Each structure stands twice: as C-alpha cells, then as structure tokens.
C-alpha cells in the first residue's frame, strides 16, 4: 500500500511509484508507434476509399467506460472487504488475549498462547500470498506443533485448533468455567470467520469470461483508435491516442491489481504492517520486553 502524504497537485502529475504506469508504459509506447505508422499510411488507405470516423468510437468508448467502472467497483469492493476482515482479526485477537490474561493472570504459559495468536496472523498472511511458512512460524511454536501445522492442508485453521486445545486444557483443569470457555471460544470463531472470508476472496476471482471480454475490447479499441483520429488530428494523433489509451488501459490494469488485495504489489494491502502491529500489541499486552520495531513505509512510501 502506498502511504504518501498530501502533495501539491503539480507534483502528483509526475508521481511514478504507486501508479500503474510502470506496468503499462510499453503498451502506451506501442500505441504511440502505431499512431505514427497510421499517419504514414494515411495516403495509402485513403486512396482505397477506407475512412474511419470518430462517431462509433465515441459510442464504444462510453460503453467501455461504464463496464470498466463496474469492474473497478467490484474489485475495490473486494479490497475494502479484505481490509475489513483484517481489521476484525485485530479486534478479535486483542479481545481474546485480554480476556485470557484477565481470566488467567498467573498462568505461566500465557506466552505460548500469545505466540499462537501471532503465528496465526503470520500464517494467514503467508498463505494468502503463497509464501513459505515453516521458517517464520518456527519462532512462535514448538517443533511438535510446527510439524502438526505444516502437515495440515489448512495451516492457519490448525493453529486455531491448537489455541482451542490450549483453552480446553485450562477448562479441564478447572481454571476456566464453562461460561468463560464459551466466551473465549466465540473469539476463536470470530478468527475462523476472518480466515474463511479471506480464503473466499483469494479463491474466487472475478469471473474470467467477464474479465476477458473487457480486456479484449479495451485493447481492440486502443488499436483501432488512431485510424479514427488521424483524419482530423494528423500529427497530433500519437499524443491524443496515447492519452486516451492510458485512461482505459490503466483502469483495466488497476482493476486487475485490486482483484487480489493480498498480494505484494504497490496498491495491495499492507499485511506485513498489519501483522507487525498485531504482534507488537499482543506482546505489549503480555508485558514482554522484546518488542519488534514498528514497520514503516520505505523511501517510495510503500508499506508492505
């Protein structure tokens, strides 16, 4: 995620990091070269009686803009829902450990429980980003628990089970009443809801046929556009065509980026920072001294 302070409007025009321009500038350059080729070919295809007009492109452009707006809205809704889910996870984790610590203030194994919560957040993050997990999780749990987690088809769900087992042991020992155990188990259920919601977003993309037809239409429009502009604009065709193509292609590319909000691209969710904040809060709640440094944006204002 780009966390950039408010800047002057003129500087924003030239911002590079955080925009989709690094991904699409080669396509815009090809469109620019195509426009130049169309200018050179104008006398030839005019002699054949071939004439393009702007009218059909105006109608098609409005239709494409409407569908691009719909797709961007759908993808942004996925982004917002994903952020809400991770916000709910932070609330559930803090509430769960607060209740556990207040209920079992003298338990010598509170550190084990809090590290299971931290491990769950990191495990969910790495699962969504399809990253290796064993090395990261080894610092938060025993070798036996790590083996059980890594052998599971859903490692994050297995960590939830380990937290439930930790609470069940205290219940059997008489440290937790049935009512308190039920309340704490509801917090685990809240974390399970977050896990299922994130898995749903990650495994259910926007329908491919819809994405494909919009993608094809955008690029066919940008390819044919110079032929319609060249009659009236002549040598200004490359600049106007590239500008219009930038608008359509950038919106299409941004929608693709927001469709998977859990990735590591510039405009994806800062899951590293969220997990870091959660880890700092939980360790401080347990009165521990070894607190990791707060994760800050890099020199390009990007927060991963």
Instruction: State the DSSP code for 154.
Output: S
Q: Among 20-34, 45-59, 145-159, 188-202, name the one with the lowest average pLDDT.
A: 45-59
188 or 295, greater pLDDT: 188
C-alpha span between 75 and 69 (Å, rounded): 10
User: Would you say residue 118 lies in a domain?
Assistant: yes
The backbone torsions φ and ψ at residue 302, rounded to the nearest 5 degrees and listed phi first, read: -100, 130
155-172 vs 110-128: helix axis angle to the nearest 10? 160
Q: Count of CB atoms within 10 A of residue 67's CB?
A: 15
Please give the full DSSP string across 139-184, using - where no structure is assigned.
TTS-HHHHHHHHTSSSHHHHHHHHHHHHHHHHHHTTSS-HHHHHHH
User: Would you say residue 1 lies in a domain?
Assistant: no
20: helix, coil or strand?
coil
What band does 218 get if pLDDT is binned at 50, 70 and 90? very high
User: Would you say residue 114 lies in a domain?
Assistant: yes
For the chain, report the end-to-end CA distance as a whole number of angstroms. 6
2: helix, coil or strand?
strand
Beta bridge partners of 302: 2
Instruction: Look at residues 59, 56, 54 and name the one whose alpha carbon lies nearest to residue 241.
Output: 54
232: helix, coil or strand?
helix
Average pLDDT over every residue of 217-227:
91
With 80 as the cut, is the pLDDT of residue 1 above it?
A: no
With 90 as the cut, is the pLDDT of residue 125 above it?
A: yes
Domain count, the chain: 1
User: Would you say residue 3 lies in a domain?
Assistant: no
Instruction: State the DSSP code for 204.
Output: -
How much is the CA Rg of the chain, to the nearest whole Å? 27
With 90 as the cut, is the pLDDT of residue 121 above it?
A: yes
* pLDDT in the model for residue 299: 67
- The residues near 301 (Cβ < 8 Å, ≥ 6 apart) are 2, 3, 4, 5, 17, 18
What band does 300 get if pLDDT is binned at 50, 70 and 90? low
Give tens-digit pLDDT for 84-114.
999 999 999 999 999 999 999 888 889 999 9
Q: What residues make up the domain containing 187?
A: 25-285
Tokens representing residue 143 in the block:
């070798």
Q: How far is CA 217 from CA 63, 106, 228, 278, in A?
A: 10, 65, 16, 44
User: Would you say residue 290 lies in a domain?
Assistant: no
User: Would you say residue 9 lies in a domain?
Assistant: no
User: Would you say residue 238 lies in a domain?
Assistant: yes
Instruction: State the DSSP code for 236.
Output: G
What band does 34 get if pLDDT is binned at 50, 70 and 90? very high
User: Would you say residue 36 lies in a domain?
Assistant: yes
* pLDDT in the model for residue 21: 87
Q: Among 100-109, 111-120, 271-280, 290-299, name the one with the lowest average pLDDT.
A: 290-299
């Amino acid at each position: 995620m780009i966390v950039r302070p408010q800047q002057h409007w003129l500087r924003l025009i030239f911002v590079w990091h955080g925009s989709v321009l690094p991904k699409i500038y080669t396509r815009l350059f090809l469109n620019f070269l195509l426009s130049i080729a169309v200018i050179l070919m104008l006398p030839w295809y005019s002699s054949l009686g071939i004439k393009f007009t702007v009218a059909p492109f105006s109608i098609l452009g409005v239709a494409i803009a409407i569908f691009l707006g719909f797709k961007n809205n759908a993808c942004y809704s996925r982004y917002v829902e994903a952020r809400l889910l991770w916000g709910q996870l932070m609330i559930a984790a803090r509430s769960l450990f607060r209740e556990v610590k207040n209920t079992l203030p003298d338990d010598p194994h509170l550190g084990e429980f809090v590290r299971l919560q931290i491990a769950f957040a990191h495990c969910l993050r790495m699962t969504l980003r399809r990253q290796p997990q064993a090395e990261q999780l080894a610092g938060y749990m025993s070798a036996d628990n790590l083996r059980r987690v890594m052998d599971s088809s859903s490692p994050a769900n297995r960590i939830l089970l380990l937290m439930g087992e930790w609470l069940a042991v205290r219940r059997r020992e008489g440290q937790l009443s049935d009512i308190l155990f039920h309340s704490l188990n509801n917090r685990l259920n809240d974390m399970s809801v977050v896990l299922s919601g994130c898995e749903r977003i990650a495994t259910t993309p926007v329908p491919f046929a819809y994405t494909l037809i919009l993608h094809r239409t955008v690029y066919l429009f940008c390819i044919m556009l110079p032929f319609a502009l060249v009659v009236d604009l002549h040598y200004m065709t490359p600049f106007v065509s590239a500008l219009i193509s930038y608008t359509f292609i950038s919106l299409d590319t941004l929608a693709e980026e927001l469709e998977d909000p859990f990735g590591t691209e510039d405009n994806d969710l800062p899951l590293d920072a969220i997990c870091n904040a959660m880890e700092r809060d939980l360790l401080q709640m347990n009165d521990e001294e070894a607190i990791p440094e707060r994760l800050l944006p890099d020199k390009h204002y990007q927060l991963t």
